[in-house]
Amino acid sequence: MSLEDHLAVHGPLPLVPRRGRRAESPLIGRVERAGLRGRGGGGFPLARKLRAVARSRRRSVVVINAAEREPASLKDKTLASKLPHLLLDGGQLAAEAVGADEVIVCTCDSAPAGAESLAAAVEERRQLAAEPAAMHLASAPNDYLAGQESALVNHLNGGRAIPTFTPTMIFEQGVRRRPTLMSNAETLAHLALIARHGSRWFRELGTPAQPGSALLTLWGPLENPGVYEVENGAPLTSLIDAAGGTTAPVRAALVGGYAGAWIAGEFLHGVALSDEHLAAHGASLGAGVLVLLSDSACPVAETARVTRWLAKQSAGQCGPCANGLPALAQTIAELAAGSAQPQAAQRVERLGSLVAGRGACGHPDGTATFALSALDEFAAEFADHARHGPCDACTRPAELPLPLPARVPAARGPAGYASVR
Amino acid sequence: MSQRLRLNPIACEAHGMCAELLPERITLDEWGYPLLDDEPLPRSLLDHARRAAQACPTLALRLERAPETS
């Protein structure tokens, strides 16, 4: 959407003046009443982040995190391509609320469409009368962990895009040692709407605990897989209907992406898309990824492939992750090949609980959650593979989306991503 | 004011000195990396814990103030 169209639909940036230089921006209270939580996977209340940075007396920086390194997530890329100005409005409003004079818009190398759209939007906005903050574009490398908060700060500070061990929080010391507010792209787009329409308007949708709508990326055997805006708490079946319905029976759904959990196909009719409801299934919406696995896919082969990929994404900095994830992937691969030692399933469980909570970032925890949930949900299939080796479905084309290997020149699909079908 | 152990997992190189000096609280996993909890340390273990932290060749182990339990 061009700036002209954006202004026609949404109007100008609704800057809310403060009641004095030291007073808190009224927008922060409004975000708090709206109950907006981060949509990058962490689910942290945005108002608390804003307040932490606003309290600092030093000049701060806002980072719009549109790197979106979760392989199955396309929502932020979609938002960046289609509604770049809404996203930039969110960054500017956050800057105004925390007293920042700079907004860094961070996309990733593998999604040129979103990056180009944002670059054009930043250029277009130069015609606007004074905005609260100067805007700069930055790009994160393609690695899975590059979008993690401390990794992205490290990258923006000229270091490698890998997580750091920082007892100091970025709201105290982040980009160029300045207090930093980093927020996911979708979260800031919601902020731009809350600033215009208020907290009550935001709460008209969703549940009391999880108000508003969310952008979800839906993959699988569907007529129209893709990114959908869904009311939090809506039935999963309504989302599947919106996507034109399924084209094959569904064995299970992966909720929350590759740090998420599986829910069996027979329960999908009763699933509501809210964290309160999903908690009963050991799942949460996370960064809003839902992957339906068809009945004809082999869940064991799929789990082995994704776990191997996740193990390769370890930055290799923390011993339990650098050793534990390859061991986890190896044991699952042996189970899938029918060459595992006795008690291999128990070893997967032990490795999963051994790595969790022992890294500088949440990567080992997320990988363990994914692997253990698969072992639990597909217990019969794992036992069958352990006994008899690969099944007929093992050689079928993979269904769970992963980025294509870097050096293979690929036909330009949606931004270098393997096709879902 | 109680103290607890805090490990920097990036700095840790599995030398294992800590587990030798504070076996009451630290064991090693199958790769030699320490397993520890962040519960407050009892007074009786404080000296041992300090020695374990000082002995770490990469300074990955520290003592820090435990949050007040209310």
- Select from A294, A326, A351 the last residue of a domain: A294
Q: What percent of chain A has pLDDT over 90?
A: 88
- Residue A410 belongs to some domain of the structure: no
The 3-state DSSP class for residue A215 equals: strand
Task: Say yes or no: A148 and A221 in one domain.
Answer: no
Query: Domain tally for chain A?
Result: 3
Q: What angle do CA A297, A303, A308 make, to 5 degrees?
A: 135
Residue found by looking up tokens 């903050």 in the block: A133
CA distance A418 to A301: 17
User: Which residues does chain A have within 8 Å of residue B13's beta carbon, measured at their own beta carbons?
Assistant: 319
- Indicate the pLDDT class of residue B53, thresholds 50, 70 and 90: very high
- Indicate the pLDDT class of residue A406, thresholds 50, 70 and 90: low
Least confident of A17-21, A63-67, A296-300, A408-412: A408-412
| Contact between chains at A360 and B33 (C-beta distance less than 8 A) | no
* Domain encompassing residue A368: 299-395
- Non-local (6+) Cβ contacts of A404 within 8 A are A410, A416, A417, A418
Phi, psi of A355 (to 5 degrees): -85, -25
CA distance A50 to A39: 15
- Residue A417 belongs to some domain of the structure: no
Question: Cα dist. A144→A63, A67, A303, A373 in Å?
Answer: 18, 10, 17, 21
Task: Say yes or no: A192 and A227 in one domain.
Answer: no
Task: Say yes or no: A289 and A304 in one domain.
Answer: no
Assembly ipTM: 0.95
- Residue A356 belongs to some domain of the structure: yes
Query: Domain tally for chain B?
Result: 1
| Contact between chains at A354 and B29 (C-beta distance less than 8 A) | yes
pLDDT of residue A415: 39
Tell me the pairing of strands A60-65 and A180-184. parallel
Burial-class residue A34 by CB neighbours within 10 Å (0-12, 13-18, 19+).
buried
CATH number at residue B48: 3.30.70.20
Task: Say yes or no: A189 and A280 in one domain.
Answer: no
User: Between A and B, how many residue pairs show a Cβ–Cβ distance under 8 A?
Assistant: 36
Strand partners, B27: B35
Task: Say yes or no: A173 and A243 in one domain.
Answer: no
User: Which residues does chain B have within 8 Å of residue A318's beta carbon, measured at their own beta carbons?
Assistant: 9-10, 12
Task: Say yes or no: A307 and A286 in one domain.
Answer: no
- Select from A178, A203, A228 the last residue of a domain: A203
Of A167, A317, A354, the CB nearest to B10: A317
| Contact between chains at A320 and B29 (C-beta distance less than 8 A) | yes
CA distance A232 to A274: 5
The 3-state DSSP class for residue A282 equals: coil
For the stretch A182-239, pLDDT in tens is: 999 999 999 999 999 999 999 999 999 999 999 999 999 999 999 999 999 999 999 9
Strand partners, B34: B28
Task: Say yes or no: A184 and A305 in one domain.
Answer: no
